[in-house]
Amino acid sequence: MIPGTGPGTGPGPGARTGTGTGTGTGTHRGLLVSRRWIQAALLVAVFGFFVMGLLAVRTYTAHPPVPRLVADDAGRPLFTGRDVAEGQRVFLAAGLMQYGSVLGHGGYLGPDYTADYLRRAAAFALRAHGGGDGAREQVRQEFRANRYDPRSGVLTYTRAQADAFAALTEHYRAYFADPRTDRGLRPRAITDPARIHRLTAFLSWTAWIASAERPGETYSYTNDWPAEPLVGNTPTADTVVWSVVSLIALLAGIGALFGAVGRWGGHLGWRGRQAASVDFRSPDEVALTPAQRATAYFFLVVVLLFLAQTLLGGATEHYRADLASFFGLNLAELLPFNLARTWHLQLSLFWVVAAFLGAGVFLAPLMAGREPRGQKALAWTLLAALAVVACGSLIAEGLSIHGLVAPGNFWGSQQFEWLDLPRVWQILLTGGMTLWAVMMWRVLRTTLRSDSRGNLPSMFFLSGLAIPGVYAVGLLARPGDVFTVTDFWRFWVVHLWVEDFLELFTTVMVAYMFVQLGVVRERVALVVVYLDVILYSAGGVIGTMHHVYFSGEPVEHLALGAFFSAMEVVPLTFLTVEAWSFVRLGARQQAESRTPFPHRWAVMFLVAVGFWNFLGAGVFGFLINLPVVSYYEIGTGLTANHAHASMMGVYGMLAVAFCLFALRYLIPSSRWPDKWAKVSFWSLNVGLAWMCFATLLPLGLMQLYEAVSAGYFEARSLAYLTGRAVTMLEWLRLPGDLLFIVGGVLPLCWIAWLGVRHRGREAAPDPVTGATPAPRLSDVREPVDAS
C-alpha cells in the first residue's frame, strides 16, 4: 500500500487507494471485476472481427472486376487494366482525392469524378443516338448491360461508350491543362497525354461499375450509386429496406439501453468515491519524472500543429468562399486547394495523435508508481520521430501535388484521403507509435506482471497497442490496387480508429485520470471501461461498413453496415447520459478537499467532449448514416458538418483536455494562466458551434435538397457551390473561424509555451535503480468500513 493514505485502509482489492495501482508489494492482484465482463467483451469483439473477416473475404471475391482489356465493339483496344491501375495512381498523386472524389470519397470542392464521367458519357451517348425517348431507353440499356466476359477478361464498350471515352479523354485533357487557377487546382495540373489517358481510363472504370449491373442482379456494382437518371440509377430496394431496418435497430437499441439503465443504472457509470475524502495535491507539490517533464515539448508541438492546421483550414475555407483570389493573391500557384486540404487533414491527425502519445507518456508513470531510467531519452526520440514524419510527409505531399514525384512512388506519393502520407512515412509513423507502445511497456512492465490481465493497466496497454495496430492496417491499401479493396482497408483506419479504438483508449485514459485524482474507484472505472468495449464494439466494428455502401462492395456490406452502425449511436446516447452524470463526481470531493481541485478546465473540456460526442458524432453522424440518405448525401456538406463536429468536438477537445491536465503540473501554480484556459474553452466551443450551425449544417441541408431534386451531379458542381446563396453561407462562418483561431488556439499556444518555460519540478531518482518515483496527485483518506 502507498504509505500516508490515512488509517484503516481495509484489506482486499476493493479497498485499494485510488492513487496509483502501486507496485513493489510483490503480491499478485486479482481481477477487480467479475469475469463475466471479460467474457462478454471478448465475445462481442471476437464476433465483430469474425464478421469483418468474412466481409474482407467477400471484398476480395466480389469486388467489381478490372478488365484485362476494354475494347470497342469492333475489338479495337481502348484501354487496359493496367491503365486503370496507373490512372488511379495518377489521380491520387495529383491530390485529386483531396479536391473532388471518386465513388463519393474524397474532397468536396471538385466534382465527384465518377458521377462527372457518368453524366458526361451518358449525355454524349444520348446526343449520339439523336436524343428523344427512344435514344434515352437505348442509352439506359447500353450503360446497364454488363458486357464483361470473365473468361477472356475483356470488357466491350458500345460504339457510343467508346466514342464517349475518346471525347472525355479530350475533355479531361483540356480540364487539367487549364493554365488558370480559378477552380482551385494548380495551373496545368496534369499535362502528360499518357497520364491523361490513364486517368480517364480509371474514371471510366469507376463509371462503368456504377452503371453496369452486377451479374445476376438488377442493380450496378455500386448499388446503383450515383443517382443518375440517364442510366436509370435510383436507390435500390436494399438501400431503402436496410435504411428502415437500421432505423428500427436504433430505436430498439435506445429503448433497450434506457430499460437497462433503469434496471441496473445504479451499478453503471462514473460514480464518485463515497464515504472517503480526498485531498488534491497542489501542482506545486507534485514533483515530476524526467519523461513527464519532457512532455512539455510534446504539448508545444501539439498546439503549434493545431495552429497550423486551423490556418490551413482557413485557407481551404477561403477557396470555398472566394475561389478566384486570395485577397488579390494567386494562392493556388503555391498552395492549391487540394494541398491546403491535404495538410489540413493530415495535421488534424498529427496533433491529436501527438497529444494522445504525450498524455500516455505523462500518465504511465502515475499508473506504475515509477519511471525507469532512460525514458526521457526515448520520449525525445519519439518526439523527434514524430516531427520528422510530420514534416517529411507534408513536404512529400506538396511535391507530389506539384507533380514533382512519380505517381505511386514509395517515398513520395500515396495521397488516399486520410492516408495521404507516402508509404515510407506511413511505415515510420507506425514505427513511432510502436516505439511509444514499447515505452508504455517499459514503464508498466512490473505493474502488468503483478496485476490481473483484466485490470486497468492491461486495458490501457492493450488499447494503446491497438492504435499502431489498426493504423498499420492502412498499409494494405496500395495506390494501384482495386479501388474497392483499398477503400475497405482505408476505412479500417479512418473508422475503426476514431469510432472504436480511440474511444476505448480515451475512456481508459480519462478513467485513469480520475482514478489518479482519487475521485473514482478503480473498480468503478473498470466497469465503465468494459461497458465501453462492449457497447462500442457491438456497433462500431461492423459499423465500419457504413463508409462503403457504394464503393463496389456486394450488398451484404451495405446491409450489415447500416444495421450495426445504427447501434453505434446507442453508446453515444448512453455516454452522454453518463458524461453528464460523471460530472457529479467532482462535487463531493470539492466540498471535502482541503485543497482546490486543480483541473477545472480539463474537466470542462471533458464536459465539452460529452456534448460533442452526442451532437457531432451521434446526431450529425446518424443524420447521414441511413443508406438512403448517404446515397444522396455522400461527399457533401453534411459530411463536413459531421466530420468537424465529431473530429474537433470529440478528439480535438479531448486532446486539449489532456494537454491542460499535464500542463497544470508543468506550470507553477502562481504562473498558471487560468483566464486564458477559460478564454480558449469558450472560444473553441462557440467557434465550433458557429461553424456547424451557421454554415455547415444549413449548407449541407441545401446541398442535400439540390442532390435529390436536381441531381447528385448538379449538387456537386462548381456552379452550384459558387452560387450566391452558398457563398453567403460560406462567408458567414468567418466570425466563428476567427474566434476559434484567435480566441481558441492562440491562448493554448501561450499556455504550452509556459509549460516549456517552467517544465515543473523534477523528482529525485532512486540512487540504486536510477528509476524515478512517480508523484501522487492526491491523498485519499479511507474510512474504516470502506467497501
C-alpha cell at 726: 452558398
Query: CB within 8 A of 370, min separation 6: which ones?
Result: 23, 289, 443, 766, 771, 772, 773, 774
32 binds, among ligand HEM, Fe ion, other proteins, none (CB under 5 to 8 A by kind): none
Residue 576 Cβ vs other proteins, minimum distance, rounded to whole Å: 10
160 binds, among Fe ion, other proteins, ligand HEM, none (CB under 5 to 8 A by kind): none
Q: Is 557 in the site for Fe ion (CB under 5 A)?
A: no
Write 577-580 long-range contacts (CB < 8 A, 24+). Answer: 577/261, 577/269, 578/268, 578/269, 578/270, 578/528, 579/606, 579/607, 579/609, 579/610, 579/611, 579/613, 580/610
Residues 417-436 that bind ligand HEM (CB under 6 A): 417
Report CA torsion sign: 499, 502, 508, 511: negative
642 binds, among ligand HEM, Fe ion, other proteins, none (CB under 5 to 8 A by kind): ligand HEM
Interface stretch with ligand HEM, choices 15-23, 530-538, 616-624, 702-710 (CB under 6 A): 616-624
Q: Is 140 in the site for Fe ion (CB under 5 A)?
A: no
Q: Is 723 in the site for other proteins (CB under 8 A)?
A: no
Confirm if 566 and 255 have CB atoms less than 8 A apart.
no
Instruction: Closer to Fe ion by CB, 238 or 500: give it.
Output: 500
9 binds, among ligand HEM, Fe ion, other proteins, none (CB under 5 to 8 A by kind): none
- What is the distance between the alpha carbons of residues 486 and 504, in angstroms, rounded to a whole number? 25
Per-residue binding string, Fe ion, 497-526, x by CB under 5 A, is --x---------------------------
Question: Reduced to 3 states, what is the DSSP secondary structure of residue 519?
Answer: coil
Confirm if 257 and 566 have CB atoms less than 8 A apart.
no
Sole binder of other proteins in the list 1, 54, 725, 766 (CB under 8 A): 725
Interface stretch with ligand HEM, choices 1-9, 293-301, 632-640, 762-770 (CB under 6 A): 632-640
Backbone angles phi and psi of 115, in degrees to 5 = -65, -35
Query: CB within 8 A of 218, min separation 6: which ones?
Result: none
Sole binder of other proteins in the list 682, 709, 757, 770 (CB under 8 A): 682
Query: CB within 8 A of 428, min separation 6: which ones?
Result: 385, 388, 389, 392
Q: Is 634 in the site for ligand HEM (CB under 6 A)?
A: yes
Sole binder of ligand HEM in the list 625, 703, 717, 722 (CB under 6 A): 625
Q: Is 643 in the site for ligand HEM (CB under 6 A)?
A: yes
Instruction: Closer to ligand HEM by CB, 386 or 569: give it.
Output: 569
Residues 661-680 that bind other proteins (CB under 8 A): 669, 674
Work out the burial of residue 750: count CB atoms within 10 Å of its CB; fewer than 13 is exposed, 13-18 middle, 19 or more buried: middle
Residue 552: DSSP 8-state: S
Report CA torsion sign: 528, 530, 531, 535: positive
Q: Is 622 in the site for ligand HEM (CB under 6 A)?
A: yes
Instruction: Closer to other proteins by CB, 467 or 656: give it.
Output: 656
Q: Is 480 in the site for other proteins (CB under 8 A)?
A: no
Instruction: Closer to ligand HEM by CB, 317 or 568: give it.
Output: 568
Residue 763 Cβ vs other proteins, minimum distance, rounded to whole Å: 24
Residues 533-552 that bind ligand HEM (CB under 6 A): 546-547
Backbone angles phi and psi of 488, in degrees to 5 = -60, -50
Query: CB within 8 A of 255, min separation 6: which ones?
Result: none
621 binds, among ligand HEM, other proteins, Fe ion, none (CB under 5 to 8 A by kind): ligand HEM
105 binds, among ligand HEM, other proteins, Fe ion, none (CB under 5 to 8 A by kind): ligand HEM
Residue 621 Cβ vs ligand HEM, minimum distance, rounded to whole Å: 3
Helices (H), 229-336: 237-264, 290-321
Q: Is 569 in the site for ligand HEM (CB under 6 A)?
A: yes
Write 230-235 long-range contacts (CB < 8 A, 24+). Answer: 230/118, 230/119, 230/122, 230/123, 230/126, 230/136, 230/139, 230/140, 230/143, 231/118, 231/122, 231/139, 231/140, 231/143, 231/144, 232/140, 232/143, 232/144, 235/627, 235/628, 235/631
Residue 48 Cβ vs ligand HEM, minimum distance, rounded to whole Å: 15
DSSP letters for 696-739: IHHHHHHHHHHHHHT-HHHHTSHHHHTSHHHHHHHHHTHHHHHI
Interface stretch with ligand HEM, choices 206-214, 506-514, 562-570, 755-763 (CB under 6 A): 562-570
Residue 32 Cβ vs other proteins, minimum distance, rounded to whole Å: 25
Q: Is 635 in the site for ligand HEM (CB under 6 A)?
A: yes
Sole binder of ligand HEM in the list 146, 409, 565, 703 (CB under 6 A): 565
- What is the distance between the alpha carbons of residues 783 and 787, in angstroms, rounded to a whole number? 9
Sole binder of Fe ion in the list 495, 644, 776, 781 (CB under 5 A): 495
Q: Is 320 in the site for Fe ion (CB under 5 A)?
A: no
Backbone angles phi and psi of 551, in degrees to 5 = -95, 10
Place of cell 439501453: 257
| Interacting residue ranges for other proteins, rule: CB under 8 A | 580-581, 583-584, 586-588, 590-591, 595-597, 600, 603-604, 607-608, 611, 669, 674, 682, 685-686, 689-690, 693-694, 698, 724-725, 728, 732, 735
Q: Where on the chain is the footprint of ligand HEM (CB under 6 A)?
A: 104-105, 417, 494, 498-499, 546-547, 565, 568-569, 572, 617-618, 621-622, 624-625, 630, 634-635, 639, 642-643, 646-647, 650-651
What are the residues binding Fe ion (CB under 5 A)?
Answer: 495, 499
